[in-house]
Amino acid sequence: MKVKVQADILGANDRIARENSQLFAAKGVYVINIMSSPGAGKTTLLEKTIAALKDRYAIGVIEGDVATTADAERIEKAGVPVVQINTGSACHLDGSMIRGALEEFDLDSLDLLIVENVGNLVCPAEFNLGERHKVMLLSVAEGDDKPLKYPLMFRESTALVINKTDLIPYTNFDMDKATKDSLSINPALNIMPVSCRSGEGLDAWYGWLESGLAAR
């Protein structure tokens, strides 16, 4: 019975996600869904991305958290429209939540919509939102064992951003191992090591986004 209930939930979500995707395509909005564990640096990456691209593209952000509006307040200061979704006890965003948040945006004026999902390494990967790409963010402080421990996140993602590379000298993080293990799960994964603190590697991330925007 549990399996059937889970299938029904995911099936209903996928239907709404398809409708979201069709809406985004009709409006010409490029949508990415950023997933990670708490503290990996999603909001900081968004702040850097907005600063780098907002003069060329109209950007909107959906912030997902269990509670508080702290991240949305940070994004609002960056100068782009943002909607906060507080899930209460839910550990992920779903298609219906995104559908409701879209009412707060003028989609005709947006180029790029970035969804910052709830910090969690399991559930967000199971729920499609209608996004063009899922992006996995991994902090070196979390360890290089995460690809093998949480394979679905890496399998479902198009890109992997490995953040906080400036901390590698102070950890036992093995970049070669993390890269090898990630590619063993998803050979097509685009892997970009970055440091949001120093700025190293961020140009590759911006370039990846702009390539997608150009091809939408």
pLDDT attached to residue 8: 66
Backbone angles phi, psi at 131, to 5 degrees: -70, 160
Q: What angle do CA 116, 52, 103 make, to 5 degrees?
A: 40
Check whether 3 has a pLDDT greater than 60: no
Domains observed in the chain: 2-215 (3.40.50.300)
For the stretch 115-144, pLDDT in tens is 999 999 999 999 999 999 999 999 999 999
Task: Provide Rg for the chain, Cα atoms.
Answer: 17
Q: How far apart are CA 179 and CA 185, in angstroms?
A: 10
For the stretch 37-83, pLDDT in tens is 999 999 999 999 999 999 999 999 999 999 999 999 999 999 999 99
Burial 82-104 (b: 16+ CB within 10 A, else e): bbbbebeebbbbbbbbbbebbee
The three-class DSSP label of residue 65 is strand
Cβ distance 95 to 77 under 8 Å?
no
